[in-house]
Amino acid sequence: MKTLVTGGAGFVGGALVRRLLERGEEVRALVRKSSDLRNLEGLSVEVINGDLRDRDSLRQAMKGCRRLYHVAACYKFWLPDPKEIYEVNVEGTKNLLEAAKRESVEQIVYTSTVGVLGTPGDGGLGSEETPVTLQEMVGHYKRSKYLAEQVALKSAEEGLPVVIVNPSTPVGPGDVKPTPTGQMIVDFLNGRMFAYIQTGLNLIDVADVAEGHILAAEKGKIGKRYILGHRNLTLQEIFELLGRISGIKPPGLKIPRWSVLPFAYLSERVSNWMTKTPPRIPLEGVKMAKQYMFFDASKAVRELGLPQSPIEQALKRAVQWFFENGYVKPHRMVKIRLRSP
């Protein structure tokens, strides 16, 4: 059975492609012409260029495939024109699912995010069933992913075999862009983290996220969502773990979120009107930090058998990968002494 993975050169997509190949499956990866292909180097995978906004390229990519993992997305907190985020994430998902329907694809896993799920106001854990509305989505990325998930759910209601996974915050090797969390780790290693704000994330090994996709295809219920997550950690706890792994002293100063907001607004204004490059302090990221992004992944563990590998080891592999792939400035390398967390 041939499998198509969209976004196969990305962080999660690359991990998924590698895991599928380990299982002996025939894999085709849909990538953009501009994609960094390091995650696919040396792999026996068919690489095809395409774009979620180009229906003809999607039809070509889908031919002969019986399973689809739709991992690709425009994962950015800022763009000069946010319209692109909706074109890729929402309209692109519609285009892809239409192509899958024409090809009579037998299994479809759509990669959403925990960012579109609700979180209790009492500080409890969010789940697949926690109520949330579009109006509660902060920023264009989260709004676009919320709308795209609605497209996937509607397609399932109409008979397409779609299962939805909601990864939390993957960490590990292969974060080529890097993701916002990967950038945070890189900034920590390069000595750019002088303080932290009071917030938290749910972390999971990227390899477990890849396995969770496969388990969702095999065991997931059509039209249902599954949180692919593991350990809830405050930002302070994450930095402490990174400090033990790298030998770098973690930031000890906690600052209120409101004190960062003016700088985030200024950074975004400079990006919008002057540099036309992503802001150094993403406003959407600061706004999202208002809530602890803590989630309960027990449904995926119980129904799918989602693995829960130690986060310490995933963070160590991430640090090692960033170190070995040139993300750490040379003068900082002498300060890093990898050790067991």
Residues 201, 168: Cα–Cα separation, whole Å? 8
Q: Which residues of the chain have pLDDT under 50?
A: 265
pLDDT digits (tens, 9 = 90+) for 104-154: 999 999 999 999 999 886 668 999 999 899 988 888 899 999 999 999 999
Residues 274, 218: Cα–Cα separation, whole Å? 49
pTM of the model: 0.91
Residues 167, 170: Cα–Cα separation, whole Å? 7
pLDDT digits (tens, 9 = 90+) for 261-296: 555 545 556 555 565 666 666 656 655 556 788 999
Q: Please report, for residues 89, 103, 197, 294, 341, the alpha-carbon distance to residue 94 in angstroms, rounded to integers and kept in the order given.
A: 9, 14, 38, 30, 43
Task: Give the strand order in the sheet containing 200-205.
Answer: 169-171, 200-205, 231-234
What structural domains does the chain harbor? 2-173+204-231+294-310 (3.40.50.720)
Our measurement of the distance from residue 80's CA atom to the centroid of its chain's CA atoms, rounded to an integer in Å, reads 21
- With beta carbons less than 8 A apart as the criterion, state whether 12 and 170 touch: yes
- With beta carbons less than 8 A apart as the criterion, state whether 341 and 171 touch: no
Closest to 188 in 3D by CA, of 323, 74, 23: 323
Q: What is the pLDDT of residue 122?
A: 66
Instruction: Give the Cα-Cα-Cα angle 24, 26, 31 (nearest 5 degrees).
Output: 125
Q: What is the pLDDT of residue 204?
A: 98
